[in-house]
């Protein structure tokens, strides 16, 4: 086939796809949203009922012995709440959709973190920041709901503290961006951010 034929076929496919998409009824669009909500509810059920996360220092140390593909699941302190969980997952999707914020180290779900990523982020906690970078970190410490990366100095404190330092130093994140990220990534459980 020549280039003109391929181009014409591509245009026809795009037009047919556009007509199909635009002709969907509101009920079909609602059904798609319902399927997404059903999937999120199923994931919530799994994470809230079968979590392995703990605030203990022993759990933090055990992460280093986990295989990289193991998962850190569930909340640390309080029971998970589906309205808050949904708000967080959707908020993180929106956060990552902004230019310069779709970074692989930022998890899509604060209650389901790959152990390999957690190990890497914990290692970033000891990064030395410049005075300007430290000011961004300090801003987040003062303004985040938990007044830090987590409500206590558990494994999440070091994971999200390390993530913040990495993002500030390597991606120029501001204190405001870190504050928003920490608030969306709060893995303590509970109904509202900062109140367990």
**76-107: per-residue pLDDT in tens?**
878 899 999 999 999 999 999 999 999 999 99
Residue 5 predicted with pLDDT over 70: no
Q: What is the pLDDT of residue 24?
A: 47
Q: How many CB atoms lie under 10 A from the CB of residue 40?
A: 16
- Residue located via tokens 């709060």: 186
Residue 72, φ and ψ in degrees, nearest 5 = -100, 110
What's the residue count for the chain? 196
Q: What are the phi and psi torsion angles at 62 (to 5°)?
A: -70, -20
Q: How far apart are CA 190 and CA 196, in angstroms?
A: 5
- Least confident range from 92-101, 118-127, 167-176, 184-193: namely 184-193
pLDDT at 191: 76
pLDDT tens for residues 135-182?
Answer: 999 999 999 999 999 888 889 999 999 999 999 999 999 999 999 999
């Amino acid at each position: 086939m020549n280039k003109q034929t391929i181009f014409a076929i591509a245009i026809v496919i795009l037009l047919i796809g556009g007509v199909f998409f635009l002709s969907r009824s509101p009920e079909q669009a609602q059904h798609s949203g319902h399927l997404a909500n059903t999937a999120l509810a199923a994931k919530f059920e799994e994470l809230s009922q079968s979590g392995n996360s703990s605030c203990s220092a022993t759990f933090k140390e055990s992460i280093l012995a986990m295989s990289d593909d193991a998962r850190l699941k569930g909340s640390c302190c309080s029971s998970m709440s589906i309205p808050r969980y949904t708000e967080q997952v959707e908020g993180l999707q929106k956060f990552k959709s902004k230019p310069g914020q779709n970074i692989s180290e930022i998890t899509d779900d604060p209650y389901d973190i790959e152990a390999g990523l957690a190990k890497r982020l914990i290692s970033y906690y000891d990064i030395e920041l410049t005075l300007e970078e430290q000011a961004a970190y300090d801003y987040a410490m003062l303004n985040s709901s938990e007044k830090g990366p987590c409500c206590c100095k558990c494994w999440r404190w070091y994971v999200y503290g390390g993530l913040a330092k990495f993002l500030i130093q390597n991606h120029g994140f501001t204190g405001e961006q870190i504050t928003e990220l920490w608030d969306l990534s709060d893995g303590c459980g509970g109904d509202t951010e900062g109140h367990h």
